[in-house]
Amino acid sequence: MEGVDAAVTDAAEPATRIRLGIAYDGTNFNGWARQPGLRTVQGVLEQALHTLFRRHEPPPTLTVAGRTDAGVHALGQVAHVDLSPQQAVALLNPRKPRNAARDTDAAAALRRRLTGILGAADSDVVVTGAELAEPGFDARFSALWRRYEYRVADAAAPKNPLTRFNTVWHPAALDVDAMDAASSTLLGLHDFAAYCKPREGATTIRTLQAFAWRRGADGVLTASLQADAFCHSMVRALVGACVAVGEGRLRIEDLALLRDVGQRTSAFKVMPAKGLTLMEVGYPHGAELAARAEQTRARRVLEPRLDGRGGLT
């Protein structure tokens, strides 16, 4: 693209899709999704894009792997952005003198420019990586899984003020072995309506691929959860149910029983947002990206199951 003037770029040329890695401290954000009058991660990043491409309207927008709630953090968020041919050419600045330093591709240039606008020294949102997306890549629909961690410092853990923004302090002692046993009963493809905040028209069927608890060397309890996707408040509800088990207020087997009832309950509390961090998003490779996107767009349904007597449940 070097040496090509934007004015003569073929308007029919396809957009350049760039995959972005993003990390943020969610403390001072009202979640990911842009909202009028509120500071959000998407809003801050898209304002930076608007600043960068103010001469090349319309400014590009972001598509994200998973929207996070207010106060939730991320180390491994993924998004994509589509640049018009003119925007991609502008990033590479073909009019720079031949002896001047140049970015080798639009992705590297975009990351460098966004970092400069966001403020590299003291920003609560960072673009951690940028690369040209593989054909068929969609940050949201191509994802195979999302992995979160949740941190709880119970009565047995020392309270570290340096982690107060990403760790929930819990006053009671918790039985981590009981919590770990309870979490394993929830694995698999299920309707998690009991653990989700309802949204009209949205499915609550998910595959919970991994859910485990451990107590770290610092005494903090950490839950690790992985699923094909999570519905609204699902992770914090699952963690809250396990905390109730750890306190002895619920039995290990109660978590699956509550799930199968399929209705929201007051048997446990949804945990605060600040203990939650999106750690990683997993994707297939090559031709599987587009196929996965098509599969994800299809509405999830539970397959009928035999009840043991030849009937269906």
Catalytic residues: 69
In three-state form (DSSP H/G/I as H, E/B as E, the rest C), the secondary structure along the chain is: CCCCCHHHCCCCCCCEEEEEEEEECHHHCCCCCCCCCCCCHHHHHHHHHHHHCCCCCCCCCEEECCCCCCCCEEEEEEEEEEECHHHHHHHHCCCCCCCCCCCCCHHHHHHHHHHHHHCCCCCCEEEEEEEECCCCCCCCCCCCEEEEEEEEECCCCCCCHHHCCCCEECCCCCCHHHHHHHHHCCCEEEECHHHCCCCCCCCCEEEEEEEEEEECCCCCEEEEEEECCCCCCHHHHHHHHHHHHHHCCCCCCHHHHHHHHCCCCCCCCCCCHHHEEEEEEECCCCCHHHHHHHHHHCCCCCCCCECCCCCEC
